């Protein structure tokens, strides 16, 4: 992945997030805090929505989590199927046809099923989840996703006792995805989680953001969001979810095995071979803030990795 350069910094002039918070303040913030999805902080909803006193230098979780403007979330993207420039997905992703769309859920399950994506959307009502997304390139965003726990879908297909991992696959359509006509990455894009990570209540399949259906550049019609891992684990435009016995291959660990491992938990203590992971720049801000262990979700997820050497299993 490319290193961020100053000219990549997007404009943050369209700040519709405060309007959004006024409209959604109860449903969004209160429900998310109640569910433990954003850590309760001393800041009020209004302060979080408009950028309160920023005490994140103290490294505390959940401080000054101002929502990233819709404009930035939808024009500053990584989606190599449409090119490597941050603006390429918003320029070219309209070419992907997201209907009709099926998602096969298969492998080590008692009830494999090919879902129509609209059936998924009807069957698993979306809730709002405000999560930080921390990219391995050392920038981050705060995104109000709409989605539902992956555990609900997996529970319905009944994993067998042999299911240990979950393998995800992005659609492969070079005729609609111009980046897939080249070989910047092996296609299709694939990702994986351990079953307990996949079943964790923070892990969601997202179908929208800011109260609207996902735009193509953000992974429509269905993408994964795993908030304590680097953004690249959050695979877009999923067509297959396969429960498997062995740890599945992942795109970035195949492309550059010396740089990207399977777990990819946000860990400021493990440098990327070419740059530090200690700090990050929130999109829309100039200064850099400390990166938090597990992207600030350590209270909820650290126990998944107890006993593991997180420098080795990076």
- The span from the CA of 43 to the CA of 51, in Å, is 10
- Supply the minimum distance, in Å, between the C-beta of residue 65 and ligand MTE: 16
| Residue ranges in 239-278 that form contacts with ligand MTE under rule CB under 6 A | none
Site stretch for ligand MTE (CB under 6 A), options 22-30, 97-105, 146-154, 232-240: 232-240
Q: Name 264's Cβ contacts closer than 8 Å, sequence gap at least 6.
A: 136, 229, 230, 232, 233, 250, 252, 314
Q: Name 104's Cβ contacts closer than 8 Å, sequence gap at least 6.
A: 112, 113, 114, 115, 239, 240, 241, 242
Binding residues for ligand MTE, rule CB under 6 A, total 18
Is the distance from CB of 311 to CB of 296 less than 8 angstroms?
Answer: no
Of the residues 75, 203, 234, 295, which one makes contact with ligand MTE according to CB under 6 A: 234
Pick between residue 77 and residue 267 the one whose CB is nearest to ligand MTE. Answer: 77
| Helix, coil or strand: residue 186 | coil
- 98 near ligand MTE (CB under 6 A): no
- Supply the minimum distance, in Å, between the C-beta of residue 191 and ligand MTE: 7
Of the residues 65, 71, 72, 81, which one makes contact with ligand MTE according to CB under 6 A: 81
- 135 near ligand MTE (CB under 6 A): yes
- Supply the minimum distance, in Å, between the C-beta of residue 41 and ligand MTE: 23
Is the distance from CB of 75 to CB of 91 less than 8 angstroms?
Answer: no
- The residue with its CB nearest to ligand MTE is 231
- The span from the CA of 194 to the CA of 304, in Å, is 10
Site residues (vs ligand MTE, CB under 6 A)? 1, 77-81, 133, 135, 170, 189, 218-219, 231-232, 234-237
């Amino acid at each position: 992945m490319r290193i961020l350069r100053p000219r990549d910094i997007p404009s943050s002039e369209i700040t519709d997030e405060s309007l959004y918070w006024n409209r959604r303040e109860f449903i969004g913030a209160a429900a998310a805090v109640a569910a433990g999805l954003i850590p309760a902080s001393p800041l009020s909803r209004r302060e979080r929505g408009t950028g309160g006193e920023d005490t994140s230098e103290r490294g505390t979780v959940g401080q000054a989590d101002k929502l990233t403007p819709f404009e930035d979330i939808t024009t500053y993207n990584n989606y190599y199927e449409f090119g490597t420039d941050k603006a390429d997905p918003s320029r070219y992703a309209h070419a992907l046809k997201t209907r009709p769309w099926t998602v096969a859920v298969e492998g080590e399950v008692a009830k494999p099923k090919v879902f129509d994506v609209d059936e998924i959307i009807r069957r698993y009502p979306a809730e709002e989840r405000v999560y930080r997304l921390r990219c391995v390139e050392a920038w981050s965003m705060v995104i109000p996703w709409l989605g539902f726990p992956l555990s609900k879908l997996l529970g319905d297909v009944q994993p067998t006792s042999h299911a240990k991992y979950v393998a995800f696959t992005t659609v492969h359509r070079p005729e609609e995805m111009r980046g897939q006509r080249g070989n910047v990455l092996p296609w299709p894009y694939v990702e994986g989680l351990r079953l307990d990570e996949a079943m964790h209540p923070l892990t969601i399949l997202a179908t929208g953001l800011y109260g609207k259906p996902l735009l193509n550049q953000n992974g429509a019609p269905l993408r994964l969001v795993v908030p304590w891992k680097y953004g690249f684990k959050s695979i877009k435009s999923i067509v297959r979810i396969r429960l498997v016995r062995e740890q599945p291959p992942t795109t970035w660990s195949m492309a550059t095995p010396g740089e990207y491992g399977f777990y990819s938990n946000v860990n400021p203590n493990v440098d990327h071979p070419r740059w530090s992971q200690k700090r990050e720049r929130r999109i829309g801000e100039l200064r850099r803030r400390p990166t938090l262990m597990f992207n600030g979700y350590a209270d909820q997820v650290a126990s998944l990795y107890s006993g593991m050497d997180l420098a080795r299993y990076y």
